[in-house]
């Protein structure tokens, strides 16, 4: 199993970027520890470590919007990875947008692009995943 540089950070967390495997759109960034990394490699589904809930997080465990791994890229320092994925349900963001990066800077404003793919209240109730 490929080893990453988990000792580099005090909390053993490294960033993982999820990117659409076809369009290369960046969908989200979340954190992985050794457990999440190993589960991702083992299952072929993107796992992260939820820092707010302090538990292993299979992306889509609540919404069903899992991320199927097509390819994993590792950076020069082995402290960041890119998951190239197929995003089931089209949307990665808990707000219902395709990407968490759905806003761009325009002068002193943030301007949203595109519309919501799903209604978060209908998918999560009051929770987010």
Contact residues: a copy of itself, CB under 8 A: 1-2, 15, 17, 19, 23-26, 28-29, 41, 71-77, 80, 82, 93-95, 97, 100-105, 108-110
The smaller minimum CB distance to a copy of itself, of residues 72 and 88, is found at: 72
Q: Minimum distance between the CB of residue 2 and a copy of itself, rounded to whole angstroms? A: 6
Strand ranges (DSSP E) for the chain? Answer: 14-20, 26-32, 47-50, 55-58, 67-74, 81-87, 103-106, 109-112
Q: Minimum distance between the CB of residue 5 and a copy of itself, rounded to whole angstroms? A: 13
The smaller minimum CB distance to a copy of itself, of residues 56 and 101, is found at: 101
The smaller minimum CB distance to a copy of itself, of residues 64 and 77, is found at: 77
Question: How far is the CA of 99 from the CAs of 10, 61, 67, 116, 126, in angstroms?
Answer: 29, 18, 13, 10, 20
The smaller minimum CB distance to a copy of itself, of residues 43 and 73, is found at: 73
User: Do the beta carbons of residue 46 and residue 59 sit within 8 Å?
Assistant: yes
How much is the CA Rg of the chain, to the nearest whole Å? 15
Q: Minimum distance between the CB of residue 69 and a copy of itself, rounded to whole angstroms? A: 9
């Amino acid at each position: 199993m490929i080893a990453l540089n988990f000792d580099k950070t005090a909390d053993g967390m490294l960033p993982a970027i999820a990117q659409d495997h076809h369009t290369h759109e960046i969908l989200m960034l979340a954190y992985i520890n050794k457990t999440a990394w190993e589960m991702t490699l083992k299952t072929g589904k993107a796992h992260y470590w939820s820092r707010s809930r302090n538990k292993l997080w299979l992306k889509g465990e609540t919404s069903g919007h899992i991320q199927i791994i097509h390819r994993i890229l590792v950076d020069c320092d082995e402290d960041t990875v890119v998951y190239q994925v197929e995003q089931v349900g089209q949307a990665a963001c808990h707000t219902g947008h395709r990407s968490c990066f759905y806003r761009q800077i325009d002068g002193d404003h943030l301007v949203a692009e595109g519309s919501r793919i799903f209604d978060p209240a209908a998918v999560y109730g009051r929770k987010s995943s």
